[in-house]
């Protein structure tokens, strides 16, 4: 009987030592789970439903409207629109300068597809112009006039921005 009492006492000691060693109790785990859920809810709300904060307005140096078309052979056609011809029509397409970009044009094509995807998701017209804007601080951005979404091009480096700088230069030449 004495051996049984010794074994029983050692089992109780082992259980006590295991309880004191357990670093996370059930209550701690539940509290961590609640904090994680609240954090996830907050991040989801702020990124999906809140309005963006208004930043300082920078003076616009130049703004050009662009209508983007895909040619049947895969080329990208960019029509530079003057302020006089703002309505979409086939007649307008003949009056304004059209730039043709052949080949892969990865950054240009990817940027324009991202903006066009927003229009498709909202079932908006693909004929409305995009705006290419040069700001006083040197930043260049492409904005969608229908969805009010934009892409700040400076974030992608000078090599990628060069394509849009070329479009802006061509716009200066043709629309003056």
Whether pTM exceeds 0.75: no
Does residue 128 belong to any structural domain of this protein?
yes
Do the Cβ atoms of 64 and 131 come closer than 8 Å? yes
User: What's the confidence (pLDDT) of residue 93?
Assistant: 44
User: What's the confidence (pLDDT) of residue 98?
Assistant: 76
DSSP 138: S
User: What's the confidence (pLDDT) of residue 159?
Assistant: 85
State which residues of the chain have pLDDT below 70. Answer: 1-22, 50-56, 82-95, 103, 174-176
Does residue 54 belong to any structural domain of this protein?
no
Give yes or no: residues 39 and 79 share one domain. Answer: no
User: What's the confidence (pLDDT) of residue 84?
Assistant: 45
139-149 burial, b at 16+ Cβ within 10 Å, e below that, comes to ebbbbbebeee
User: Which residues constitute the domain of residue 21?
Assistant: 2-48
Give yes or no: residues 72 and 157 share one domain. Answer: yes
User: What's the confidence (pLDDT) of residue 51?
Assistant: 64
Give yes or no: residues 19 and 39 share one domain. Answer: yes
Strands 98-101 and 60-70: what pairing? unpaired
How many distinct structural domains can be found in the chain? 2
User: What's the confidence (pLDDT) of residue 60?
Assistant: 86
């Amino acid at each position: 009987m004495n051996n049984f009492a010794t074994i029983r006492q050692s089992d109780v000691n082992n259980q006590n030592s295991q309880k004191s060693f357990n670093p996370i109790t059930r209550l701690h785990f539940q509290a961590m789970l609640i904090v994680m859920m609240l954090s996830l809810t907050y991040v989801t709300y702020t990124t999906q439903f809140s309005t963006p904060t208004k930043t300082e307005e920078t003076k616009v140096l130049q703004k050009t409207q662009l209508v983007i078309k895909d040619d049947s052979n895969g080329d990208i056609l960019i029509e530079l629109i003057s302020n006089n011809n703002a309505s979409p029509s086939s007649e307008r397409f003949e009056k304004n300068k059209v730039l043709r970009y052949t080949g892969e044009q990865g950054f240009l094509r990817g940027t324009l597809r991202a903006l066009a995807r927003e229009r498709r998701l909202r079932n908006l017209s693909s004929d409305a112009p995009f705006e290419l804007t040069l700001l006083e601080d040197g930043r260049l951005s492409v904005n969608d006039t229908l969805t009010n979404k934009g892409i700040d091009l400076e974030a992608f480096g000078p090599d990628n921005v060069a394509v849009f700088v070329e479009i802006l230069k061509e716009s200066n030449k043709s629309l003056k």
